Amino acid sequence: MLVVGAGPAGLAAAGAAQERGLEVEVLEAADSVATSWRSHYDRLHLHTTRRLSGLPGQEIPPRAGTWVARDDYIAYLEDYARRQAIPIRFHTRVERIDRAGRGWRLQTSGGERQAPAVVVATGYNRSPLVPAWPGRESFSGELIHSSAYRNAEPYRGQDVLVVGSGNSGAEIAADLVEGGAGQVWNSIRTPPNIVRRNVGPLANQHLGILASKLPPSFVDWLSLAIQRAAIGDLRPYGLDAPAEGAYTRVMKDEQIPLIDVGFLRELKARRIRVVPGVERFEGSWVVCGHQRLKPDAVIAATGYDRALDSLVGHLGILAASGRPSVHAPRSHPKTPGLYFIGYTNPLVGNLYEVARVARRLARLNAAPS
């Protein structure tokens, strides 16, 4: 089995496969594991708990705490690859995957490879997306994607517009306020579902796992009811209640709830101002609905593309969104033995789901044919 990508999903797939006695090798374009994690902002912590974020066969050590910091998680992934003795071929970029008899042929930067089964795990956040806003090229300030943001120090005293209502946008906005930025705006087009990281002594992720077993309509109703009770009315601060429940947003837009780690405090203190969605740029100005802003910098927390077209687009197995239409442990009927792992963002948590799927996929491939 060949695994494409040495992030959490790829390492999980390889680790679980080796536990089942399968021969496996990971192909990684970069020179280390966890490449995308190394580029995340400094204050990032996992939004899922340590106990529910480990990969198959090895827990995250207790010293990392309940909410694991970025650098501690990277260290865990490095240790996982080492202790599980996962064979990784670095500096090997997979460029195209094609059918070859009953197996698969991979065109790579290091030559052609073949395998009876291939697991694609190049990452949920692979290629940063910045919308083609009208006039974007004319903006006289700084415009970056959130993937290039590290900390608030370069923006001390500056006015900053953060675009996006997801976890990255909300956390970066709070980080900017805490780090001494001037005016911080958060451009939000669609009001998000918002949850506390903990509900009393219970981590919100546990509720997500419970919710995954309940009827979708009830989960939607419950998420909106909890938000009303636990978060309250945010309209005085410029943020309407969400129009749809958490389950619907995950299934329709793959938009998980905003997990509050400081955003609400800064919003209610009016140190973060919510403004409408960005419409266009006009020189040094940004037009957000009826408001015209003049930020020194714009940080676009506007998501990522899975960037799978060049790799498997010719196989006819991608959805219109560019995401795989079938996820592991199943493979598409057109492409038996080709699996995609880590391309969903469920209520139970991406890392929790990755570990579960990796184990199921390993059992499937280790079963006698």
User: Can you give the residue ranges of every domain in the chain?
Assistant: 2-126+306-366, 128-300
Q: How far apart are CA 160 and CA 347, in angstroms?
A: 31
Q: β-strand 160-163 against 297-300: which pairing, if any? A: parallel
Q: Indicate the fold that domain 128-300 takes in CATH.
A: FAD/NAD(P)-binding domain (3.50.50)
pLDDT score recorded for residue 369 = 56
- The answer to whether 162 and 173 are in contact (CB under 8 A) is yes
Burial class (CB in 10 A: 0-12, 13-18, 19+), 360: middle
Q: How far apart are CA 57 and CA 358, in angstroms?
A: 11
3-class DSSP state of 112: strand
Same fold, 2-126+306-366 and 128-300: yes
How many CB atoms neighbour CB 348 within 10 A?
Answer: 20
Burial readout 65-82 (b: 16 or more C-beta within 10 A, e: otherwise) = eebbebebbbbbbeebbe
Question: 95 is written with which tokens?
Answer: 């460029």
DSSP state of 68: -
Question: 302 is written with which tokens?
Answer: 């506007």
What lies within 8 Å, CB to CB, of 236 at 6+ separation is none
CA 333 to each of CA 105, 274, 302: distance values in angstroms, whole numbers, following the listed order: 18, 46, 33
Residue 205: CA count within 13 A, CB half-sphere: 18
The yes or no reply on domain 2-126+306-366 and CATH 3.50.50.60 is: yes
Question: 319 is written with which tokens?
Answer: 């959805």
What lies within 8 Å, CB to CB, of 17 at 6+ separation is 1, 3, 24, 358, 361, 362, 365, 366
Whose structure tokens read 């219970």?
A: 202
What lies within 8 Å, CB to CB, of 272 at 6+ separation is 173, 174, 177, 184, 185, 186, 263, 266
In 213-340, alpha helices (H): 216-230, 246-253, 263-268, 309-312
The tens place of each residue's pLDDT in the chain, 369 residues long, gives 999 999 999 999 999 999 999 999 999 999 999 999 998 999 999 999 999 999 999 999 999 999 999 999 999 999 999 999 999 999 999 999 999 999 999 999 999 999 999 999 998 878 899 999 999 999 999 999 999 999 999 999 999 999 998 999 999 999 999 999 999 999 999 999 999 988 777 888 998 898 889 999 999 999 999 999 999 999 999 999 999 999 999 988 888 899 999 999 999 999 999 999 999 999 999 999 999 999 999 999 999 888 899 999 999 999 988 899 999 999 999 999 999 999 998 889 999 999 999 999 999 998 775
Q: How far apart are CA 248 and CA 250, in angstroms?
A: 5
List strand residue ranges (DSSP E) for 166-283, in order.
Answer: 184-187, 194-196, 198-199, 202-203, 258-260, 272-275, 278-282
What lies within 8 Å, CB to CB, of 356 at 6+ separation is none
Cis check: omega of the bond before 216, within 30 degrees of 0: no
Whose structure tokens read 């005016």?
A: 183
Going edge to edge, which strands form the sheet with 297-300? Answer: 142-145, 297-300, 160-163, 184-187, 272-275
What lies within 8 Å, CB to CB, of 304 at 6+ separation is 124, 125, 126, 127, 128, 129, 147
CA 170 to each of CA 12, 115, 270: distance values in angstroms, whole numbers, following the listed order: 29, 43, 14
CA 275 to each of CA 16, 267, 272, 292: distance values in angstroms, whole numbers, following the listed order: 46, 12, 10, 10
Burial readout 306-332 (b: 16 or more C-beta within 10 A, e: otherwise) = bebeebbeebebbeeeebbebbbbebb
